[in-house]
Amino acid sequence: MAHGDLTIDLRQMILAIETAVSFVGMNDVNHGKRVGYIASQLGYQLGFSDEDIQFVFDLGLIHDCGVSTEQMHSNLVNHFDWTDANIHCEIGWNLLKNFAPLAAFATPIYYHHTPWRQLMDTNISRRDGRMANLIFLSDRIDVMAASHYEKDILLAREEISRSINTYGGSYFDMDLVDAFNTVEKSEAFWISLEDRHVSRYVWNMGQVESNSPLTLDQLRQLSLIMSYIVDQKSPFTAEHSVLVASLAAYIGRTFGLSERQCEKIEIAGLLHDLGKLHTPDNILAKPAPLTAVERSIMNQHSYETYEILRHIKGLGEVAEWAAYHHEGLNGVGYPFHPAATQLSTEARIIAVADVFQALVQDRPYRQGMSQEEALGILIDMARYGKLDQQIVDHIQHHIEGCFRIASGQERDERLSYKELFPAKTGQRPS
């Protein structure tokens, strides 16, 4: 592979998407894992091929990739049939449909809250329809079971089963409901859904490679999908990740780093704030200074970024560059406090790009700063050892270019949400 240490198997990235998306659930991080597990168990019962079982398991893991906010997550898991459920289906479809390695998941994701009867009126393939409905069924089983795990799940299953059967033929394909009726008879099925078991099961699945290493282009595209999910979480962050990525790569290039390093910096820039998926909506969207408690919770996000990225085999130093974006040079910053010698140039560039972009970005309650104001703040931060002096000097020399990129006036079309995921509602798989 041309990009050496950056050889990453698609399976690793599917699991990373699952981890990132699961963080939105805050206290319940295993919904996607359970849906994948339930769907795969029903798949065995239905006589699926190994390939289809793997497919439906992965589909379950990432089926909620269109959910960025806690609020939406809670509506989905607290109502059997929530009227706005189609929003996340459409977002999920939009995110994956043009990304070849995951495009096969897009149509089933679009229809994973569509009742079986309505599915019959669409012209999607029988396989897509079945996969979509299997996820819908598995998802609703989990939603009904969620409050009973680790408690009375073996008693609650009777009620769950009765309820699912009343929806057979209308919401769910009767064949799938029949498979459920067989599978649910075993206590093992229900017990295996408890946190300790289902997370190990998923971990085991992660050991199986899909043998489809991503190209560097694909890795960037996938990182862009993930950054979109996090940037959508709050109107304050709109395009933050994507602009930090462009700016950091620009700084790297003009600073004289190799093209390959700059490509990697770009990926780290896209991924740096992934951990914000675990920050409560009300803290991210607060239009005022944070209290000490809120700040302490907010500041956990770069550690959470590291937790998502460190498990991706092959990502190597990119995980650290991303996770170190709030570290300073004299041990000021958080959360690892690496020595200055452990802070690579790439990590320092991302840290500077992060601050500069945030300062110049318009917020709902304030205008973005001018280049002079923003630069003034960077210079102060360098003086206190929070940012690298040399890189801040470098920004000063390229201030016009840096400002145009950070404020979104000059764009790289490879890194544009608008072009890649146009949000035109009413579109559907054809």
Name every residue whose Cβ is closer than 8 Å to that of residue 331 and which is 6 or more positions away in sequence: 337, 339
DSSP tag of 130: H
Minimum CB–partner distance for residue 148 and Fe ion (Å): 17
Minimum CB–partner distance for residue 244 and Fe ion (Å): 6
Minimum CB–partner distance for residue 283 and Fe ion (Å): 13
* Contact pick of 9, 58, 139, 320 for Fe ion (by CB under 5 A): 139
Residue in this structure with the two tokens 């909620």, named with its chain if needed? 64
- Determine the Cα–Cα distance for residues 211 and 158; give it in Å rounded to an integer: 41
3-state secondary structure of 327: strand
Select from 6-14, 135-143, 257-265, 280-288 the region that touches Fe ion (CB under 5 A). 135-143
- Determine the Cα–Cα distance for residues 407 and 362; give it in Å rounded to an integer: 8
Closest Cα to residue 211, out of 11, 408, 413?
Answer: 11
Which of 64/320 has CB closer to Fe ion? Answer: 64
102-117 in b/e form (b: 16+ CB < 10 A) is: bebbbbbbbbbbbbbe
- Determine the Cα–Cα distance for residues 381 and 45; give it in Å rounded to an integer: 60
Which of 90/139 has CB closer to Fe ion? Answer: 139
Closest Cα to residue 415, out of 254, 204, 257, 262?
Answer: 262
Instruction: Give how many residues touch Fe ion by CB under 5 A.
Output: 4
Q: For residue 120, how far is the Cα from the chain centroid? A: 31
3-state secondary structure of 171: coil
x/- map, 228-267, Fe ion, by CB under 5 A: ----------------------------------------
3-state secondary structure of 362: coil
Which of 73/214 has CB closer to Fe ion? Answer: 73
- Determine the Cα–Cα distance for residues 312 and 160; give it in Å rounded to an integer: 36
- Alpha helices of 85-146 — where are they, by DSSP H? 85-96, 103-110, 116-119, 126-145
Task: Find residue 323's DSSP bridge partners.
Answer: none
x/- map, 43-72, Fe ion, by CB under 5 A: ---------------------x--------
Minimum CB–partner distance for residue 139 and Fe ion (Å): 4
Which of 302/345 has CB closer to Fe ion? Answer: 302
Minimum CB–partner distance for residue 162 and Fe ion (Å): 21
Task: Find residue 213's DSSP bridge partners.
Answer: 9
Residue type present at position 277:
L
Q: Annotated catalytic sites, by residue?
A: 276
Which of 101/335 has CB closer to Fe ion? Answer: 335
Which of 273/346 has CB closer to Fe ion? Answer: 273
Which of 9/273 has CB closer to Fe ion? Answer: 273
- Determine the Cα–Cα distance for residues 72 and 18; give it in Å rounded to an integer: 17
Phi, psi for 363 (deg, rounded to 5): -115, 160
Minimum CB–partner distance for residue 299 and Fe ion (Å): 9
x/- map, 328-367, Fe ion, by CB under 5 A: --------------------------x-------------
Q: Is 304 in the site for Fe ion (CB under 5 A)?
A: no
Minimum CB–partner distance for residue 187 and Fe ion (Å): 24
Site for Fe ion in 265-284 (CB under 5 A): 273
Binding residues for Fe ion, per CB under 5 A? Answer: 64, 139, 273, 354
